[in-house]
Amino acid sequence: MDLFRTKPIQQDVAADTGMRRDLNAFDLTMLGIGAIIGAGIFVLTGISAATQSGPAIVLSFVVAGVGCACAALAYAELAASIGGCGSAYGYGYAGFGEFPGWVIGWMLIAEYAIAVSAVSVGWSGYFNTALESVGMGLPHSLLHGPFDATPGIVNLPAVGIVLALVVLLASGAKISARANEVMVFIKLAAVALFIGVALFHVNAANWHPFIPPVEATPAVAGGGFDWNMKLIELLTAGAGGGTHFGVAGIFGGAAIIFFAYLGFDAVSTSAEETANPQRDLPIGIIGSLVICTVLYIVVSGLLTGIVSYHELNVPSPVAYALLKIGQNWAAGMISLGAIAGLTTVCLVMYYGLTRLLYAIARDGLLPRSLATLSPKSRSPVRIILFSGAVMVFMSGFVSLGNLASLTNFATLAAFIVVCVGTILLRRKRPDLPRPFKTPGYPFVPILGTVVCGYLMLNLSVTTWLAFVAWMSIGLVIYFGYSYSHSVLAVREK
């Protein structure tokens, strides 16, 4: 059984693969910003500050940003030299072998699919708030699925946004990119509005202490096991309970707000729809990450400067902070920006999922009948419809809860594969044309591997168990179907 058979590397990354090459560097940068700025900046900044790092949330963003920057540079090198719409899955398949490629592809499916479903539920909350502001709020039964903590019938707005994105993506990549750009400008305007207002209401006393002293996490009622404990705490201190704040809280906060950086890797799935991938992919990946990191640091610093971090553990901390300082009009505008922001996150992550599934199906690891393109839009419509149906069910009826943190795990693991893959391919294929080379090699990919690995240890025990369960399903599919049906397996027969 050859689990490490590799597929050939496509030397001409700009070759015709059947998809329309309509996207340019600006489109890719907007796609990256569309995916990155969303739930992270509008939700997780406050929650992470209140529960993990305090005002030092700024440093949490720096730590997470360093890991992402290293991975982004490695992504840029592999995207420019290997290409393909499979992102890290394709790089792993070409560099490590089929089984490692499948593992990373299966993790990326979790990243994209769960992220879309989780963010669509958040979108539903903001959308209903907007309806309530004009006296048209939906009843509880149409805002919660049957398996929520407070059961309902279906989360109707979440289902609605996913169905709308199905139609948009089926229309083609260029139309989707244009819609994304409009919404990106709206949410960037909302972020700029917050910065402009918050600058004049900062109270420096809220930044003291900048790094709050370590506190023990409250014990579980009845003395039970704390499943939300970080794995690194379990490994170093046993099951006695976790902590938050202090220096360790900075890393714990970084592991949480890492969700805020999800999406720039989805840019690499557009390789086969980019006019000049060797030039435009690195620009889109690195450019979007740099812009968003700067905005994250500024917003998180101002957020904890205008309101005490103790008060920020709320669903919409940015709007809440503006309400606290009496800027009700700005809070309303921010809510509109949040709706646009969450929409683009869903759009780009859904786009990345469909291109990833298309690449996997084209390689035969999933039924090849899925890997067909629409004659009109040149988009994988079958996969768009199939994955859309699954996410409609997840968004409307299933309560994801803490499972959303599985996206962080999957992304961190993918980043590690990309960083390590850059090193291995430099050694295995020194002759491979590399229009873009990772600067600071090999220090940068090694640093990215270490930072991402440490952030994985700062995720909860529940997240690790969810990962084991998800990978168990993936192994059953691979050995039950993928191994014997892959293109490489068929060629060997």
For the chain, percent of residues with pLDDT exceeding 90: 32
pLDDT value of residue 357: 95
Phi-psi region of 401 (alpha: psi -120 to 50; beta: other; left: phi over 0): left
Using CB atoms within 10 Å of the CB of residue 310, give its burial: 0 to 12 exposed, 13 to 18 middle, 19+ buried: exposed
- Concatenating the DSSP letter of every residue in 117-170 gives HHHHHHHHHHHHHHHHTTT-PPPGGGBS-TTSSS--S-BHHHHHHHHHHHHHHH
pLDDT value of residue 303: 94
Given a cut of 80, whether residue 1 has pLDDT beyond it is: no
pLDDT value of residue 43: 72
Mind spelling out the 3-state secondary structure of 378-419? CCCHHHHHHHHHHHHHHHHHCCCHHHHHHHHHHHHHHHHHHH
Given a cut of 70, whether residue 100 has pLDDT beyond it is: yes
pLDDT tens, position by position, 52-77: 899 999 999 999 888 888 988 998 88
Could you tell me if 200 and 327 are in contact, meaning their C-beta atoms sit under 8 angstroms apart?
Answer: no
Tokens of 317: 């901390």
Tokens of 226: 């704390």
The most distant pair of C-alpha atoms in the chain lies apart, rounded to whole Å, by 71
For the chain, percent of residues with pLDDT exceeding 70: 92
Please give the residue that has the higher pLDDT: either 385 or 400. Answer: 385
Tokens of 73: 């540079």
Distances (CA, A) of 89 to 392, 420, 489: 25, 13, 18
Q: Region 365-394: what's the mean pLDDT?
A: 92
pLDDT value of residue 254: 85
Torsion angle of C-alpha atoms 12, 18, 24, 29, degrees rounded to 10: -100
CA angle 194, 197, 202 (to 5 degrees): 105
Q: In the block, which residue shows the tokens 């139309």? A: 175
Residues 6+ apart with CB under 8 A from 260: 36, 38, 39, 40, 41, 44, 45, 61, 64, 296
Please give the residue that has the higher pLDDT: either 305 or 150. Answer: 305
pLDDT value of residue 383: 95
Q: Region 447-467: what's the mean pLDDT?
A: 88
pLDDT value of residue 237: 65
Of 334-343, 395-404, 433-442, 481-490, the one with minimum mean pLDDT is 395-404
Q: Region 313-330: what's the mean pLDDT?
A: 83
CA torsion through residues 118, 122, 123, 125, sign:
positive
- The band of 240, judged by pLDDT with boundaries at 50, 70 and 90, is low
DSSP summary character for residue 363: T
Please give the residue that has the higher pLDDT: either 303 or 118. Answer: 303
Rounded to 5 degrees, what are φ and ψ at 14? -100, 15
pLDDT value of residue 418: 87
Of 69-78, 235-244, 293-302, 335-344, the one with minimum mean pLDDT is 235-244
Torsion angle of C-alpha atoms 373, 375, 376, 381, degrees rounded to 10: -30
pLDDT value of residue 403: 60
Distances (CA, A) of 267 to 106, 255, 274: 18, 22, 10
Residues 6+ apart with CB under 8 A from 466: 402, 403, 405, 406, 409
pLDDT tens, position by position, 18-36: 788 888 899 989 988 988 8
Integer-rounded Cα radius of gyration of the chain: 22
- The band of 84, judged by pLDDT with boundaries at 50, 70 and 90, is confident
- Mean pLDDT over all residues of the chain? 85
pLDDT value of residue 299: 92
Residues 6+ apart with CB under 8 A from 476: none
Q: Region 123-138: what's the mean pLDDT?
A: 80
pLDDT value of residue 443: 95
d(CA 20, CA 377): 8
Could you tell me if 384 and 116 are in contact, meaning their C-beta atoms sit under 8 angstroms apart?
Answer: no
pLDDT value of residue 37: 84
Given a cut of 70, whether residue 490 has pLDDT beyond it is: yes
pLDDT value of residue 208: 92
Render the burial of 352-374: b for 16+ CB within 10 Å, e for the rest: bbbbbbbbbbbbbbbeeebbebe
pLDDT value of residue 398: 77
pLDDT value of residue 401: 58
d(CA 44, CA 315): 9
d(CA 148, CA 399): 5
Closest by CA position to 459, among listed 312, 239, 259: 259
pLDDT value of residue 55: 94
Which one-letter amino acid corresponds to residue 99? F
pLDDT value of residue 291: 92
Given a cut of 80, whether residue 264 has pLDDT beyond it is: no
- The band of 162, judged by pLDDT with boundaries at 50, 70 and 90, is very high
Residues 6+ apart with CB under 8 A from 80: 13, 277, 278, 279, 281, 282, 434, 435, 436
Residues 6+ apart with CB under 8 A from 160: none
Please give the residue that has the higher pLDDT: either 11 or 486. Answer: 486
pLDDT value of residue 446: 96
d(CA 88, CA 108): 8
